[in-house]
Structure 1
Amino acid sequence: MPSLLALALALAARLSLLTLPLSTLAAPFNSARTVTPPTGPKVIIDNDWCITCFVTYLVPLDYGWDIIGILSDTSNSWSLQGALHAQASLEIGGLDSCIPVYSGADFPLLQTAHTFQTWELLHGVLPWEGVFAKENATLEALGNDPTSGDPKRVVEEAFEKPGYGYPNGSLATDTTAAGFLVEQVRKYPGEVVIYSGGALTNIALAVRMDPDFAKNTAGLYIMGGYIDRMIEQTSGDVLQADLVSDINLIIDPESAKIALTADFPNITIVGNVANVLTPDTAYLEDVFEVENPFSQLMLSYAPTFLPFWDETAAAIMVDPSIVLEEIEFYADVDTSFNSPYYGYIRPYQAALMPPGLRTVRYITKVNETALSDIIKHSIQYPKTCADLGK
């Protein structure tokens, strides 16, 4: 079993306690930018939000995509806590008045903290346990997001430390996250791309709510779905094992299976390749050469030991030219609770697959220089609602 101290230190490091108040910025947003209403595809961003997860919406905005809504899901922390992170980051960037945020389902379809921890007793501790790590008041007091316990529990310290503070505005409440997905796809059939950077619970619920939902989207992009990384979890420290574990799918295996077998026009999985680019201090300082609230947060909080996971998926979504290699196969998800691979993807060729599967596009290599530039530019020159003509 990994050291509990090691796990705690890794968790604390994810939310570095370096502080640099937003009020100290030497320069605000670049005021020379012109109004450029979105001309690209429509997209709904679903993620398990964190301090620096705003890059997943800055990237599509930088490419002229129209973000019609942001959803949160329960994965790294509870959905409500994540939604508040998303709202707070939108507010510091002047995007809160034109992009609504919906808090998603509190729980996965079947998984609970009890079942998750029972599974660990049977099959071993995951290096990153996400929302179902045992509740830890000490870490929460240091600014970590809540785990286990009450899904409606909010840890305000997690908003105080970054400097953006608890959000002033309110989350959207006119419908549920899954309801929003269904409504928007009905409103814009064939036009809405779905991005998933966390658990697939909201998306699975939408699939079940409306039998035409999946086929009427413009496709699904998933960050998650590591394949053949087991041997890497046997060497190095707990952090190394964390980098190749698949919490986005493991937190809700049943939803992952529903999504990956639904009739989306296309499904792109950004699995192993999401680990290719990890920022170092020099990169973060280079980003901060253009000072704004987002580049400041990156400099203060982006960990230099974790890859650009969600950011890579967002970049592949908006700019297919950075993809250098990809494969196609039929995908299933192990949903047997008794399996040590519960929540992992099982790839098949057509001749060997069980019935009911569909093909997915799996990215295996990207242009790392182009990826780095995409992320950097989106942070340095973020769009606002005024820029979007909204």
Structure 2
Amino acid sequence: MYWPVSLSLICGSLLPLATGSLAQPDEQSETHYAIMDNDWYTAGFVPYLVALDGGVKVLGLASDTANSWQPQAALHAVATLEAGNLSCIPVYSGATWPLINTPLRFQAWETIHGKLAWEGAFAPENQTYEAQGNDPTSGDPNRIVKAAFKEGFPKGRPRNSTSAANFMVEMVHKYPGQVSIYSAGSLTNVALAVRMDPQFASLAKDLATGSILLADLQSDINLMIDPEASKIALTADFPNITIAGNVANQVFPSQEFADEVLSVPNPYSKLFHDYYDLSFPFWDETAAALMVEPSLAINQTSVFLDVDTSYGSPNYGNIHVYQKALAPDGIREVNFVFQVDEDRLKQRIKHSLQYPKTCADLDYLH
């Protein structure tokens, strides 16, 4: 989850129609597909609902390790799809382990440089916390904590025909220039796809990634849980890169908003109302909305960006932003978003929750 970073996003529109739906992209325009990769959890379904509501054809969900371990996240993906009659969207398991990092290695770094406020899947194992209904951290990455499935434990399972990275590579070759890769957890799966196929990034339409910003702009658990993958993904040759950094901290939900969402009752509006943590801003949702409608960004600039992969550095896993004259070799120019249109963002989120798509609407998966 969290800290939106999105690459070469697609322009769209947000115009209320008399039918109560939102305007969709021009039917004559090129079809926009997406693969959505996240550390899914009980209330983590909003990004794929926003994408579907905006006319993006979601080809599948992938799971990664960030806030919790990948196997738990994969089952959350299956469970939340089942909750809203969207099981026609396949789920593919991603990499459980980062490229290099481990809980022990991460905690050793913290011993020297200080603990993070949020440690994600690398927080020490806490069985008491898990028994209270929280997702697992550290320990055995393959253990499943059923108490965390407030959306209901899934009947189905992820597809086992291929891996998440393989699926991404296959789809960008099938639909060159049309597939967004949304990654709101760690970037491990994206990095693996980049390394597996030198054409992968250039054939994708864009990459939209999201993660949590902590006290300062550069610190992020989704980057820091796999800094090496973050560097690979964020320096790959995607056509364009737009980073929505601290902007994702600007728009918060409220009890009034949650109550308004529930005024149109359905499984998703109920789960959102009951389980979305109102103390956090719309991190993942901002990334998804920018993927659908880049014009939500109303203030942005161009910078050069890198990820620190020096394990001994206090900035390990942090991003560094440069002006062109000072940029080191091997990094690239990106668009950095400072402000989004709050009202339009909330309108997109609310409409996607109140009028969610179902498999009956997704003819491309039939």
Report the residue type matching 1:93 in the other structure: G
Q: 2:209 aligns with which of 202, 222, 225?
A: 222
Q: CA deviation at 1:37?
A: 12
Match for residue 186 of structure 1?
173
What's the CA shift for 1:264?
A: 0.7
- Does the Cα contact within 8 Å between 2:133 and 2:148 map onto a contact in 1? yes
TM-score by length of 2: 0.89
> Residues 190 and 217 of structure 1 are in contact (CA less than 8 Å); yes or no, is this contact kept in structure 2?
yes
Counterpart CA distance in 2 for 1:345 and 1:72 is 23
Match of 2:47 among 36, 48, 56: 56
Alpha carbons of structure 1 residues 108 and 41: separation in structure 2 relative to 1, 3 Å: same
Q: Secondary structure at the match of 2:228?
A: helix
* Match in the other structure for 1:3: none
Contact 2:211/2:222 (8 A) holds in 1: yes
Alpha-carbon distance change, 329 to 225 in structure 1, aligned in 2, over 3 angstroms:
farther
Q: Secondary structure at the match of 1:386?
A: helix
Shift of 1:38: 11
Match of 2:270 in 1: 296
Moved more, 75-84 or 357-366: 357-366
1:324 and 2:298 correspond: yes
Higher RCO (C-alpha 8 Å, min separation 6): 2
1:158 corresponding residue in structure 2: 148
Task: Specify the alignment match of 1:238 in structure 2.
Answer: none
How many corresponding residue pairs?
340
AA aligned opposite 1:289: S
Give the AA of the match of 1:366. V
User: What secondary structure does 1:351 align onto?
Assistant: helix
The offset of 1:269, in angstroms, is 1.6
**Residue of structure 2 aligned with 1:374, choices 348, 352, 355:** 348
User: Alpha-carbon deviations, 1:271-297, whole Å to 9, x = none?
Assistant: 100111111111100100000011101
| 1:45 alignment partner, one of 36, 54, 57 | 36
Does the 8 Å CA contact 1:38/1:64 hold for their aligned counterparts?
no
**Cα distance in 1 for residues equivalent to 2:40 and 2:250:** 21
2:152 aligned with 1:171: no
* Shift, 1:321, TM fit: 2.3
What SS does the aligned partner of 1:294 have?
helix
State the 1:224 CA deviation: 3.8
2:269 and 2:126 map into 1 onto residues whose CA distance is 30
CA distance in structure 2 between the aligned counterparts of 1:345 and 1:280, rounded to whole angstroms: 30
Report how far residue 245 of structure 1 moved: 4.2
Instruction: Work out whether residues 34 and 59 of structure 2, in 8 Å CA contact, stay in contact via their aligned partners in 1.
Output: yes
Partner amino acid, structure 2, of 1:105: A
* Aligned ranges 1:257-272 → 2 under 5 Å: 257-272=231-246
Partner residue, 2:8: none
CA contact (8 A) 1:221 1:270 kept: no
Q: Are 1:68 and 2:42 counterparts?
A: no
**Offset of residue 328 of structure 1:** 1.3
SS at the partner of 2:35?
strand
Match of 2:17 in 1: none
Q: Which runs of 5+ in 1 are unaligned?
A: 1-31, 233-243
Tell me what 1:248 maps to: 222
Give the match for residue 195 of structure 2. Answer: 208
- Distance (whole Å) between structure 2 residues aligned to residue 190 and residue 266 of structure 1: 12
Q: Which residue of 2 aligns with 1:347?
A: 321
182 and 271 in structure 1: CA distance in 2 versus 1, 3 angstrom threshold: same
Amino acid at match of 2:51: P
